[in-house]
Amino acid sequence: MAASFSSSFSLIIFFTLLCLSNASPRLPTNLKLIPVTPHLQSSIPSFDQINAHDKSRLSYLDNLIKKTSVPIVSGRAFQQAGNYLVRANVGTPGQTLLMVMDTSNDAAWLPCSGCSGCSSQTLFTLEQSSTYKPLQCSAPQCRQAANWFCAPATSDCHFNMTYGGSSFDALLSLDSLGLAQDTLPGYAFGCLRTVTGTSIPAQGLLGLGRGPLSLLSQAGNLYQKTFSYCLPDLRATNFTGSLRLGTVGQPKRIKYTPLLANPRRPTLYYVNMTGIRVGKRFVDIPSSALAFNPATGAGTIFDSGTMVTRLVAPVYAAVRAEFLRRINLPVSSLGGFDTCFTQPIVPPTISFHFDGMFVTLPTENVVIHSSFGTTTCLAMAAAPDNVNSVVNVIASYQQQNHRVLYDVANSRLGVSREHCS
């Protein structure tokens, strides 16, 4: 009898282990990233377009201060140059929309039917979704939205926002959000009701920031507060990169730097930059120009929406001076860039050093060429003379062909080289 029981128990254990070994592991959630560029004929925006885009973007970052593998595609065929789009399915049945990926924003929003001022030809038709519902002011998500207010007649929860030089009013809503093979029911987002200005991403926006209405927060344990992206080179023939959600499929060999929390700008991904090297030489930078300071908002952030890296005045001056010394040719300016050359140059590498890691930029991430190839400029600029004058922004042009990993659960950010296109 004992032998029979032992044999049966062994068989149960065997078949249990067999079933476990045959269980399908969770597949990586990969989304294509599509870069948005203004014209199908040109591979990259003009210098003037880059400067105008970043001016609007930095104005948005200014307003963030508290005053009290999904594919990533480039939006070649769309407006809003400098952004990256992900394909999402919203509602039941799902309506396919391309949404701008934004690491410096929390709430998602969509151009919805009935919107006044929305410029997108593709709208989310909320009347066709059986799972759509507006949120009342009593909903907990309402208090999590920036600048929320109650509509007097309906008690619906609205929020408004300034984004660059534009603004919008949105109705906070719930519906299903589909990303690759994943479905997130009851996702809170803004349904745009009125839009003023032209700098609001027309296709909608998916917030990947650190706040309670961001994708990482609303997804709960599904993605374990982890994502990475690989931004494609705007000059590449294959114009897609990837957004990878969750811990599965993330690179194992990658260097990290700690993420820092700033209560004045809680959405943003701050890191501690310790120095910059041009070629083999560290440039002389005052430590105060790189220091993280929660009281003033000073420090360094990684941002997916700014196009070229912006360095605070003393940092940029030091980098520019060493870059000019290495090139030793007559310098000119063009379209907001003040370190340009009309003769062919061999630019030095530039390395950003952080606590625990450094990132050495290849030549294609250091300089940018004019549309006709007659002028080459250093693909960096000084921070604007406003609130952002204290913030160094590591921007998308310098991030291209790198895997940037945001491990919020463990409060760290990693970067490794990867061919993204």
Domain termination residue (choose one: 213, 228, 244) = 244
22 lies in some domain: no
| Domain boundary, last residue among 229, 244, 259 | 244
What global pTM score does this model have?
0.87
Q: Which of 277, 175, 238, 207 is nearest to 34 (CA)?
A: 238
Give CA–CA dist 313/394, Å, rounded.
15
Catalytic residues: 102, 303
| Overall domain count for the chain | 2
Residues 178 and 114 in one domain: yes
Task: Give the up-direction half-sphere exposure of residue 85: CA atoms within 13 A in the CB hemisphere.
Answer: 25
Q: Are residues 258 and 196 in the same domain?
A: no
Q: What are phi and psi of 188, to 5 degrees?
A: -85, 130
pLDDT along the chain (421 residues), means of 10: 45 40 64 65 61 65 55 52 85 96 95 93 95 97 95 92 88 97 97 91 92 96 96 74 94 95 92 97 95 92 93 96 97 92 95 98 92 87 79 95 97 95 71
Exposure of 250 in the CB half-sphere (CA atoms within 13 A): 22
- CB count, 10 Å around CB of 343? 10
Residue 105 makes CB contacts below 8 A (sequence gap 6+) with 205, 207, 208, 209, 214, 267
**DSSP helix/strand/coil, 155:** coil
Nearest-angstrom CA–CA distance, 9 and 347: 70
- Residue 204 makes CB contacts below 8 A (sequence gap 6+) with 97, 98, 99, 100, 108, 109, 110, 111, 120, 124
**Does residue 363 belong to any structural domain of this protein?**
yes
Q: What order of strands is seen across the sheet that includes strand 391-394?
A: 269-271, 299-302, 391-394, 309-311, 380-382
On whether residue 17 sits in a domain, the answer given is no
Can you give the pLDDT at residue 384? Answer: 82
CA gap 421, 419 in Å, rounded: 6
The count of other CB atoms within 10 Å of the CB of residue 208 is: 25
- Report if residue 11 sits inside a domain: no
> Is-contact 36 100, C-beta < 8 A?
yes
Instruction: Clarify whether residues 220 and 259 are in a common domain.
Output: no
- Residue 156 within any structural domain of the chain: yes
User: Is the bond into 93 cis (omega within 30 degrees of 0)?
Assistant: yes
Structural domain including 89 reads 29-244
In one letter, which amino acid is 371?
S
Helix, coil or strand: residue 6:
helix
Instruction: Judge if 289 and 216 occupy the same domain.
Output: no
Alpha helices in 158-282 (DSSP H): 215-218
Element (H, E) at 111: strand 108-116
Same-domain status, 223 and 255: no
The answer on 377 and 228 residing in a single domain is no
405 and 346 within one domain? yes
The DSSP 8-state label assigned to residue 221 in this structure reads T
Beta-bridge partner residues of 190? 109, 172
φ, ψ for residue 383, nearest 5 deg: -65, 150
2 within some domain: no
> In the structure encoding, which two tokens stand for residue 3, read together?
């032998």
In this structure, are strands 166-179 and 380-382 parallel, antiparallel, or unpaired? unpaired
Amino acid at the residue 370: S
In degrees and rounded to multiples of 5, residue 61 shows phi and psi of -60, -35
Q: What is the pLDDT of residue 198?
A: 83
Tokens in use for 260? 């820092």
CB-facing half-sphere around the CA of 268: CA atoms within 13 A: 32
218 and 184 both lie in a single domain = yes
CA distance 88 to 85: 9
Nearest partner of 184 among 352, 70, 102, judged by Cα: 70
Are residues 350 and 263 part of one domain?
yes
The angle formed by the CA atoms of residues 379, 83 and 366, to the nearest 5 degrees, is 15
CA atoms within 13 A on the CB side of 104: 27
Q: What is the CATH number of the domain that holds 339?
A: 2.40.70.10
Q: Are residues 169 and 316 in the same domain?
A: no
Q: Is the domain of 192 the same as that of 72?
A: yes
Residue 9 domain-assigned (yes or no): no
Tokens describing residue 220 = 């709960």
Look at the block and give the residue holding tokens 């998500």: 141
Domain boundary among 244, 270, 304: 244
Asked whether the beta carbons of 244 and 325 are under 8 A apart, the reply is: no
> Does the residue 15 lie in any domain?
no
154 and 260 together in one domain: no
